[in-house]
Structure 1
Amino acid sequence: MLVVALVAVVWALASHHASSSETPPAWGAVLALAPASMALALALWRLPQRWMAVGAIALQAGLLLGAWPWLRTQAALLFLLEQLGVYLLLALFFGRTLRGPGESLVTQMARRVHGGVLSPAQLRYTRKVTVAWTLFFAGVALVSLLLFLLVPVAIWSTFANLLAGPLIGLMFIAEFLCRRIVLAGEDQATIADAIRAWKTHNARNAHKAP
């Protein structure tokens, strides 16, 4: 856990340096492109025909190499697009479970923590928490985009690369404290329980994926 936290801090500091530099270093573009490029390559590798997978990955590499003279100078823009994609996908991940008759994402995870049984108060609360996380991620994406467009890039980078991560941690803590008040007297999960439920949910989804 400590190693993961250390890597996250180093990544955030390096991203901020690359984004806010007057002359963006080429390694900044590599850092920004790496996660999405690797994720896309892994997805392409799962294509049903191996020749299709190899051809698609080769095309991806060719496009990146062809655009590299421009990409290498656009670290801030690349970090913005990467982060917007992540936050909007998270907002969609939570928000899509609010539609229809099914249970919200946080409700599903709470059922795993509590052995499948939730009180009416817990059902109402977990749905509201799902709404809160949806709005939080959408809000972070909107604020990041507005700052990128309206203020100096160093200010945007401070928010996007140095503050957004801690804000997610504060959101976890705020929800935990709120739950202690709203669900006083109920059987409550700890933050560790919530993290385990999140990992279990993601692992089951990955197992179901073709």
Structure 2
Amino acid sequence: MLGRFEPRWLAVLLCAMALLRAFATRERIWLFAAAGTALLALWATAFNASLPLKLYPALVNAAMLLLFGLSLRFPPSAVERLARLQEPDLPPEAVAYTRRVTQMWCGFFILNGGIAVITALWSSERVWALYNGLIAYVLMGTLFAGEWLVRERVKARRHG
């Protein structure tokens, strides 16, 4: 897509989508992410450059790292909040487990964001698109699935 459209037009679209998400969720983290997106869009628009657009996945990973990381500092953790939507009365061992899972996601966001930066700065657009448009999502899905399998085993041991 970067090769078919001028970066400045993609930047405007990306900025609009980030602002919509920020206002729809009304969470401060997404307002900061939208501000970061606006800065990248301004850079892309002013210089009609694709690099700022290629840095967007790194920005999203940084926002997710901040969201999950701050939840470790100011509990409940991000994963605990999600878990309590299905099971409001989590036992203490489940709270500890959700904290470890939140830490694992923080590690993922660091690694994934780092690779996103590397592909943006030092690889071809094809490699960047392959990693950020496919491989990163496969890794994320694998992490989700693996954690779900572990969680089911932990639950079975607790109940069995």
Give the TM-score band, short-chain normalised. 0.7 to 0.9
Aligned to 2:10: 31
- What stretches of structure 1 of length at least 5 have no aligned partner? 1-17, 45-59, 188-210
Higher RCO (CA < 8 A, seq sep 6+): 1
Contact 2:64 2:109 survives alignment (8 Å):
yes
What is residue 109 of structure 1 aligned with on the other side? 82
User: What are the within-5 Å matches in structure 2 for residues 77-96 of structure 1?
Assistant: 77-96=51-70
1:122 aligns with 2:101: no
Over residues 129-186 of structure 1, what are the superposed CA-to-partner deviations in whole Å (9 max), with x where a residue is unaligned? 1111121122111011123333333222210122212222222111101112233244
Q: Is the 8 A contact 2:11 2:44 kept in 1?
A: no
In the TM superposition, residue 27 of structure 1 has moved relative to its aligned partner by 4.8
- Distance in 2, matches of 1:152 and 1:39, equals 25
Q: Tell me if the contact between 1:107 and 1:126 (Cα under 8 Å) persists in the aligned partners.
A: yes
Q: How far apart are the structure 2 equivalents of 1:146 and 1:39? A: 23
Q: Give the number of aligned pairs.
A: 143
Give the residue type in structure 2 aligned to 1:70. F
Residues 97, 104 of structure 1: 8 Å contact kept: yes
Q: How far does the alpha carbon of each residue in 1:35-79 deviate from its partner, in whole angstroms, 9 at most, with x for none? A: 3234348979xxxxxxxxxxxxxxx8xx95x974732xx33x133
Shift of 1:32: 4.6
- What is the TM-score of this pair, normalised by structure 2? 0.72
Deviations 1:8-33 (A, max 9, x none): xxxxxxxxxx34xxxx3325553354
Separation in 1, partners of 2:96, 2:52? 39
Q: State the Cα RMSD in Å.
A: 3.0
Q: Percent identity?
A: 29
Larger Rg: 1
Q: In the alignment, which of 184, 193, 196 is matched to residue 156 of structure 2?
A: 184
Q: How does 1:156-195 map to 2 (within 5 A)?
A: 156-186=128-158
SS in 2 for 1:26: coil
User: For residue 148 of structure 1, what is the aligned residue in structure 2?
Assistant: 120
Q: Give the unaligned 5+ runs of structure 2.
A: 24-37
Shift of the 182–29 alpha-carbon distance from structure 1 to 2, 3 Å rule, reads farther
Does 29-38 or 86-95 show the bigger shift? 29-38
